[in-house]
Structures are given as structure tokens and as C-alpha cells.
Amino acid sequence: MTRDECFELGKILKTHALYGEVSVFLDVDYPEDYENLQEVWVEIEEVLQRFEVEQVRLLPNKPQTALLKLKSIDSIEQAQEIVGFKLFLPLSFLPELGEKQFYFHEIIGFLVVDKNLGELAQVRDVYTTSQTALLAIDYKNKEVLIPINDEVILQVDRKNQKLHVELPNGLLEVYL
């Protein structure tokens, strides 16, 4: 399994108790979709290693945090060795999305086409914060950040790898 065949599920934050459980941050919109995982891939020294999952318990007071027990990790010492590592799942675990919806990883390289200005540039990256998500493009040798929301994103054309947008008035001028 390679990283290109996967999406990042989250990160191992710290150990929990004495018998190999770890606390994980699930970087997904619906953590409850991952309560019945059978397996997960952990990136160790840039190599994805498969682990069978014994149990996933979501924490009710921390919506994106869960306790994860992997079958081959049975002590706090073993758990400590994987703290800080990222968790991955195959892309096949992702449900299909609608016309205006997309996964951030899938639009990297898509051409951004503005309703008024035409073709702008390819999506270079997607930045996320707790408040918002932003597309990063390089336009006229400047990094331009475009908000990802229903007013800006008009259509995702997966077949032609184009992202149709309507930029807010004056957005490009702020960067140029």
C-alpha cells in the first residue's frame, strides 16, 4: 500500500492506560463512520504498515478523538513507539460525493476556472484551519488563497479535472 492509494485518517496523539491503547485525532468530518474499522495503516519511517484493529472508542466529550487498540500493540512501551505517527486508510474507504463536494486530496492538480476570468491555475495545495479551508494556487507568480465554500465552488468536473469557481469581487487584486 502506498500513500497515493490512501487518505490520511488522522494522527496518534499519545498513549492511553497500560495495555497498548492510544489516543488518536481523527481528521474526518464524521468520526462515527470509522468506529468499526478492521484495519489501519500506520506510517512508520515513511512506510505504511498494516495493523489489525481490535477496538475503536470515540470519546463523547472530544468529537474527533478516539481511543484505538491495535491487535499487536499490547503494552504502553509498544504504544509509545507509534505516538506521533499518521494513520491512513485506502481511498476505497471514502464514500462517493456529489457534484459540488470533493475530498481535498483529489483536487490537487485540478485547474481552477473562474466564472468571469476563465482559467486561473492548478490547485497546488489545500490549507485547513479549525475555521475554514482554502485552495492554494499560484497566479501570476503569487500565491492566491481561495476560500472553499458553497458560494465560491460552483462545480467539480472530475472527468476534465477542473474546479469551477466564482471568486469574490476583488480577491485576486488583494494578492496582486
CATH superfamily of 104-175: PRC-barrel domain (2.30.30.240)
Average pLDDT over every residue of 115-127: 96
**CATH 2.30.30.240 residue ranges for the chain:** 104-175
Tell me the CB-side half-sphere exposure of residue 89, using CA atoms within 13 A.
19
| Mean pLDDT confidence for 2-23 | 94
- Max distance between CA atoms of the chain, in angstroms, equals 59
Please tell me whether the overall predicted TM-score, pTM, comes out greater than 0.85 for this model. Answer: no
Whether the predicted pLDDT of 100 surpasses 80:
no
The segment(s) of the chain belonging to CATH 2.40.30.60 are 3-93
Of the candidates 151, 173, 145, the residue with the CA atom closest to the CA atom of residue 164: 151
Query: φ and ψ at 108, to 5 degrees?
Result: -60, 125
State residue 101's pLDDT score.
Answer: 83
Which CATH number applies to 3-93? 2.40.30.60
